[in-house]
Amino acid sequence: MQNTPEPTDRQEAPRGTNQSGMRAYNERLVLSLVRQHGALAKSDIARMTGLSAQTVSVIMRALEQDGLLMRGEPVRGRIGQPSVPMSLDADGAFFLGLKVGRRSADLVLVDFLGTVRGTHRRIYRYPTPQAVVGFVAGALPGLLSTLPVDLRSRVAGLGVAMPFQLWSWVEALGAPQDEMDSWRDHDMRAELADVTGMAVYVQNDATSACGAELVFGTKERPKDFLYFYFGTFIGGGLVLNGQLHLGRTGNAAGVGPMPVQGPDGRMRRLFDSASLSVLAEMMEAAGESSDHIWEQPEVWRVSDAVLDRWIALAAEGLAGAILSAATLLELESVLIDGWMPTWVRARMVAATQEAFLRQDLSGIAPPLLREGSLGAQARSLGAAAIPLSQRYLIDQNAAAREA
């Protein structure tokens, strides 16, 4: 998911090329199409890309020999040779994803299809560079040992999904300023590359969660959508014309600081209304322990009164943020996901929809609101999707040509 210029409405998605020297691009194009559409025959690929049948045969044969594609059962009953659909081979490549959260870190091993093959987790009061690097160094050997020896060379890199400017959240995390200041000049990419011996890619955590929907999402992927992810603080991502929009510094659609109206009528930041930290504060004020919500995203023990109040507050904030975004961008959809039980996510989407429709929508084409599909794993899967995208995919715009 490279941050390349977006085509205008008059431009077609890029086609393949038969010129020599472009094999890497064409291979990425084929892999992107198979990932997007599922199993495809050579004739399907040729029709979608404009490549000659001979060129497609050479490319798909090479990808099969490299273990990235696998043959399906021949489809007979048509004139001529039976067509053979080719699909992604789960063992074709593996990727490591590291989610650095404000309360916990997760290291996952993901196969070429996005299935998690193994995971390790560490919970802490607040993150420090030393703790994160030590966690990876300790967990990595055991994680890699879950793969057969002959497949370990297929691990193609480590992606890191982490909040930017962690030193700015000292008060909210209750962390010592001097320890958090160590993030300012720490080269996490270089140190993890030294520890792992792999290529390392770093991206904002909520942006990575959004990117996971593009690569591994299990529901229909709209071409234009705004994405909200509930973590300790709420974050977001933006997809335009099927492409993850990173922005100048990689922090585009960092929705947390967006100004929204609070229950007292005054403006406040979105993450002061719609974050898990807000829920935790409400629980503690009501005499309910919130420790477990950082450990068990599918099992929350929250009283109805506190949960109802938090959902209502968060939904009003989200509705205001969505309206602001919709005035600037013609969004097809808004996706809401997060570190929460699926039934809470469903309630949050429904409450946000109701709050959004109560606003003055004159001149606005309301986007479709729906749930994300990856939940608590979105950030770690998004981290693993970074090296996958860098090595095996092209810009989503190039793979989006209608069949």
Q: What is the pTM for the complete model shown?
A: 0.86
Give the percent of the chain with pLDDT over 90.
72
pLDDT at position 394, please? Answer: 82
Does residue 398 carry a pLDDT above 60?
Answer: no
The helix or strand, by DSSP H or E, that contains position 351, with its residue range, turns out to be helix 342-357
Helices (H), 38-149: 42-49, 53-65, 129-144
Does residue 273 carry a pLDDT above 90?
Answer: yes
pLDDT at position 401, please? Answer: 36
Asked if residues 342 and 298 have their Cβ atoms less than 8 Å apart, the reply is: yes
How many whole angstroms separate alpha carbon 136 and alpha carbon 159?
A: 12
User: What mean pLDDT is predicted for residues 97-103?
Assistant: 91
Q: E strands within 241-350?
A: 243-244, 259-261, 267-269, 333-338
**Average pLDDT value for the chain:** 88
pLDDT at position 17, please? Answer: 54
Range name among 270-284, 289-303, 367-381 with the lowest pLDDT average: 289-303
User: What mean pLDDT is predicted for residues 254-276?
Assistant: 94
The helix or strand, by DSSP H or E, that contains position 235, with its residue range, turns out to be strand 234-240
- In sequence order, which residues have a C-beta less than 8 Å from that of residue 293 and are 6 or more positions away? 276, 279, 280, 283, 300, 302, 339
| Exposure letters 44-81 (e unless 16+ CB within 10 A, then b) | bbbebbebeeebbeebbeebeeeebbbeeeeeeeeeee
Distances (CA, A) of 77 to 68, 74, 80, 82, 140: 28, 10, 9, 7, 49
Instruction: Kindly report, residue by residue over 148-164, the tens digit of the pLDDT.
Output: 999 999 999 999 999 88
pLDDT at position 79, please? Answer: 62
User: What mean pLDDT is predicted for residues 18-37?
Assistant: 79
How many other CB atoms are found less than 10 A from the CB of residue 299?
9
Could you tell me if residue 375 is left (phi over 0), alpha (psi between -120 and 50 degrees) or otherwise beta?
left
pLDDT at position 170, please? Answer: 63
Highest mean pLDDT among 1-15, 217-231, 348-362: 348-362
User: What mean pLDDT is predicted for residues 225-237?
Assistant: 95
Instruction: Kindly report, residue by residue over 174-209, the tens digit of the pLDDT.
Output: 778 888 888 888 899 999 999 999 999 999 999 999
